[in-house]
Amino acid sequence: MTYLGAHMSSAGGFYKMGRAALAVGANTLQCFVRNPRGARAKAVDPEDLGRLRALLAEEGFGPIVAHAPYIMNPCSKDPGIRALAAEMMAGDLALMEHLPGNYYNFHPGSHTGQGVEAGCRQIADMLSRVVTPELGTVVLLETMAGKGSEIGGSFRELRAILDMAQCPPDRLGVCLDTCHVSDAGYDITGDLDGVLEDFDRTVGLERLRAVHVNDSMNPPGARKDRHARIGAGTIGTEALLRLIAHPALAGRPFLLETPTDDAGHGEEIALLRALL
């Protein structure tokens, strides 16, 4: 069973999003778990989350991924922004208790001039406080392109954070983003096995719990983070298929974050399933 899905909007409700995922042939999905801020934003309805939970179980979905807000930065030099990051994550994880057994993925953040070591320490400190043993959710650090002062552009930085965080090891993992790792300089097109071996040595493949499947608009090592549609970038469909079908990654949810809408994601899911 290959779990394939895409990032979808939860703005119209969580159950409705689940139906939309089914309609595009997905058996996993990714979404934001909070409603956007602003005057018209309604509080998240736990009953709606419950209906989504029942639908996912009925339809045999694999684990799903909630994505933290992009503005979250647990390693900003501004202590107020760091405090807000912890507050956001704690709030999102409280909502995720209505969808137990799934993942919560976040961007490690940008150290904004403090240096990689200080940044990794601050990220680990937040995780130590927020990721408690009784959580029903596994929290994932996303591999990043390494643009600007972004942390997570190397497997070693992720290892450092995982080592420093005082959390149960089974509550913390990694989500590998194909566009980001390629932009960070890992050659997944030419040497996928080598990259996965590097990941295994540095972090451990058992920590790799979810995958973002994106092509990249830029060549390996560009440190840009511009996603391309499947087959329309520098990674290529073949390399992405090899990754999805790789025996070392069996059972993980594979999620598209390509620049298109639900219908476009449906076409990409159908294409990948046909080629698998």
Return residues touching Zn ion (CB under 5 A).
Answer: 225
Residue closer to Fe ion (CB basis): 142 or 215: 142
**With the C-alpha atoms ordered 194, 153, 269, 24, is the resulting torsion angle positive or negative?**
positive
- Residue 98 site contact among Zn ion, Fe ion, none (CB < 5 to 8 Å, cut-off depends on kind): none
Does 7 contact Fe ion by CB under 5 A? no
Distance CA 143, CA 115 (A): 18
Distance CA 203, CA 172 (A): 11
Interface mask toward Fe ion for 191-210; x: CB under 5 A: --------------------
What CA–CA distances, in Å, run from 81 to 73, 111, 179, 233?
7, 12, 27, 34
User: Closest separation between CB of residue 244 and Zn ion, Å?
Assistant: 18
Residue closer to Fe ion (CB basis): 15 or 255: 255
Q: Which residue of 48, 125, 150, 177 would you call a contact of Fe ion, by CB under 5 A?
A: 177
- Residue 225 site contact among Fe ion, Zn ion, none (CB < 5 to 8 Å, cut-off depends on kind): Zn ion
Residue closer to Zn ion (CB basis): 150 or 225: 225
Q: Residue 229 phi/psi, 5° resolution?
A: -70, 160
Enumerate the β-bridge partners of residue 173. 140
- Residue 212 site contact among Fe ion, Zn ion, none (CB < 5 to 8 Å, cut-off depends on kind): Fe ion
Distance CA 109, CA 147 (A): 11
Does 212 contact Fe ion by CB under 5 A? yes
Residue closer to Zn ion (CB basis): 48 or 225: 225
Closest residue to Zn ion, based on beta-carbon distance:
225
Kindly state the tokens that stand for 156.
């070693």
Distance CA 127, CA 179 (A): 25
- In this structure, are residues 180 and 148 in contact, taking their beta carbons and an 8 Å threshold? no
Distance CA 143, CA 148 (A): 14
Residue closer to Fe ion (CB basis): 48 or 257: 257
Residue closer to Zn ion (CB basis): 125 or 257: 257
User: Closest separation between CB of residue 40 and Zn ion, Å?
Assistant: 27
Tell me which residues touch Fe ion (CB under 5 A): 142, 177, 212, 257
